[in-house]
């Protein structure tokens, strides 16, 4: 299966909105993604108005993943959000979307810090973020439900365009072998 990773364009809002119509779970983490179609469309428009840098993963014209770097209060910092449709999880696509988003933030936006929040029960996401260099802002206690994580955008091994952590630039074609165990869900 060919999956294409690229920056989101203004005319991608409708296809991204369609992904979120069948996305699960909705609204379980900081209210995102929003639970109703109307609120989802409003959220996507607000991301554009707030100058978030957004990316999509797509198969053909179908969006299956969405990420964003939302500008922080301090210049050179951004909050990361990332969503993969449940029919495509467990294939490494989230990590590729994460790395592509971070690469752009580092090389094009010159971000010095990226942070995110993640549910402590979402072990797959936690491992993905840790493998990309994110560390907890504070130690998690036994009753911690949400964990704030951050990573410096410019790692100590940065070599300009020859970044050892990311290597590739956008747009990028990802060829993912179809695994017989994973059957893609249909997006409505």
Asked whether residue 133 is assigned to any structural domain, the reply reads yes
Asked whether residue 182 is assigned to any structural domain, the reply reads no
Share of the chain above pLDDT 90, in %: 40
Asked whether residue 187 is assigned to any structural domain, the reply reads no
pTM of the model: 0.81
Asked whether residue 90 is assigned to any structural domain, the reply reads yes
Confirm if 100 and 170 have CB atoms less than 8 A apart.
yes
Distance CA 58, CA 179 (A): 18
Q: Which of 20-24, 163-167, 171-175, 180-184 shows the highest mean pLDDT? A: 20-24
Residue 108 region, left (φ>0) first, then alpha (ψ -120 to 50), else beta?
A: alpha
Give the model's confidence band at 156: pLDDT under 50 very low, under 70 low, under 90 confident, else very high: low
Residues 6+ apart with CB under 8 A from 131: 95
Largest CA distance in the chain: 46
H-helix or E-strand spanning residue 56: strand 53-59
Asked whether residue 188 is assigned to any structural domain, the reply reads no
Asked whether residue 185 is assigned to any structural domain, the reply reads no
pLDDT digits (tens, 9 = 90+) for 73-90: 999 889 999 999 999 999
pLDDT greater at residue 68 or residue 146? 68
Domain that holds residue 108: 2-175
Asked whether residue 82 is assigned to any structural domain, the reply reads yes
Q: Could you give phi then psi for residue 161, rounded to 5 degrees?
A: -75, -10
Instruction: State the Cα angle at 139 between 165 and 32, rounded to 5°.
Output: 70
Report the domain count for the chain.
Answer: 1
- CATH number reported for the structural domain that contains residue 133 in this entry: 3.40.630.30
User: Over 90: is that where the pLDDT of 177 sits?
Assistant: no
pLDDT digits (tens, 9 = 90+) for 101-119: 988 888 788 888 888 888 8
Nearest CA among 187, 175, 182 for reference residue 3:
175
Asked whether residue 183 is assigned to any structural domain, the reply reads no
Predicted local confidence at residue 113, as pLDDT:
85
């Amino acid at each position: 299966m060919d999956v294409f990773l690229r920056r989101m364009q203004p005319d991608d809002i409708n296809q991204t909105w369609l992904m979120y119509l069948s996305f699960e779970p909705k609204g379980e983490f900081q209210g995102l993604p929003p639970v109703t179609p109307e609120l989802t469309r409003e959220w996507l428009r607000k991301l554009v108005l707030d100058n978030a840098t957004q990316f999509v993963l797509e198969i053909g014209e179908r969006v299956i993943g969405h990420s964003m770097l939302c500008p922080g209060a301090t210049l050179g910092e951004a909050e990361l959000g990332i969503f993969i449709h449940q029919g495509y999880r467990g294939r490494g696509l989230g990590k590729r979307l994460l790395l592509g988003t971070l690469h752009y933030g580092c090389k094009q936006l010159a971000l010095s810090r990226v942070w995110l929040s993640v549910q402590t029960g979402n072990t797959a996401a936690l491992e993905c973020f840790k493998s990309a260099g994110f560390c907890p802002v504070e130690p998690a206690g036994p009753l911690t439900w949400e964990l704030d994580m951050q990573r410096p955008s410019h790692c100590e091994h940065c070599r300009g365009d020859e970044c050892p952590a990311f290597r590739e630039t956008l747009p990028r074609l990802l060829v993912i072998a179809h695994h017989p165990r994973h059957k893609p869900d249909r997006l409505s």
